[in-house]
Structure formats: C-alpha cells, structure tokens
A = this chain, B = another copy of it.
Amino acid sequence: MKEELAKKARMIEAVLFDVDGVMTDGKIYCSERGETLKAFNAADGLGIKLLSDFNVLTGVISGRNSPALRYRLAELNVKHLYLGAVDKLSAFEQFLEQVKLTPKQVAFIGDDLPDLPILTRCGLAVSASNGCNEVRSRADYITDRQGGDGSIREVVELILKSKGLWEDYIKGIC
C-alpha cells in the first residue's frame, strides 16, 4: 500500500457507500411491482459487519430506495441511511453534522456522476473498478473488484490494514 493512501485510510472513522454499481453490479431487477429484487454480495456483507466490530461507522447514500435494499441494510446493521437522495452532497453534509466528523475522517465508495461532489470532498475517495471515467480519475483508490463482487470488502481490508488491525484479527480466528 502506498504511504499516501495508507495515511488517508488511517484517518477514516466512517465509510459511506453508494448502492447501485457499488453494493451491487449495477443491475436493476424490475418486475411489474417495481424494483423488487436486488443482488448484494456475501463478502461485502462480512466486510461491512467487520467495520462495525471495529467501531467504524457505516452508511449509505443512494439516489434509489426499495424495500429489498432496506432489508439488506438492516441485516448488516448499517445505520446511517440516505435513500432516494436527490442531492447526495447535502446528505453527506447532514451525515457529517450528525456524527460530528470532518470530511477527512470519512471514506466514500462510488461509481457514477452523482457521487462526484462527495468524492471530491471526502477523506478517502474510492471508485469501484466499474466506475465511470470521471469518478475513476478523481479517486484516491480504484478497487480491483467490481461493484457487487467485493469492491466494498476490498476497501474494508485496506482501512483495517492501514490501522494495523487486520493481522491480529486474522490470527484470532484461525
């Protein structure tokens, strides 16, 4: 890990992420009743739970909203939810105020244009590998994994490793 990246990651006290293209592969499954299904990733789920175990806050800022999404976020105990957010930057600012953190202490994982205002302001700007050019070019880190295939998990490991928490954790479970 490059030292500049590690330094940014070490500061992080909260990880926020986009949903479509980050928590999922970007597929919007529709039935006659609307967006009835969403496909999340098991390895991401374990990563999100690990953040909570290490007292890193987790939250979601998404332009969409669905019962399927809320079910998964409840299962993963993600508490800071900004769903159906028309203005993502305003949601980001609300979050900062509520949890009393500065932008430098917050990581954001995004993939598309509505994520840009947050990515240019947060402490650790991450693009999923499938992010659009504008997002990738402004990111501190581009994941190897695609959204919905472990991109969030990759960021979780990056942060916990930068804080020196990963190695002991692995030893403890073997």
Chain A residues within CB distance 8 Å of chain B: 20-21, 24, 26-34, 36-43, 45-46, 64, 66-69, 71-72, 75, 111-114, 116-117, 120, 132, 134, 138, 148-150, 153, 170, 173-174
Contact = CB atoms under 8 A, between A and B. Distances in A.
Number of copies: 4
Contact of A28 (B45, B112, B114): B45
A150 B174 CA distance: 27
B39 A114 contact: no
A29 B45 CA distance: 12
Given A36-B31, A42-B21, A112-B43, A26 B149 contact: yes
17 contacts: A26-B42, A27-B42, A28-B40, A28-B45, A30-B39, A30-B40, A30-B68, A30-B72, A31-B37, A31-B71, A32-B66, A37-B37, A46-B112, A46-B114, A113-B173, A114-B173, A134-B170
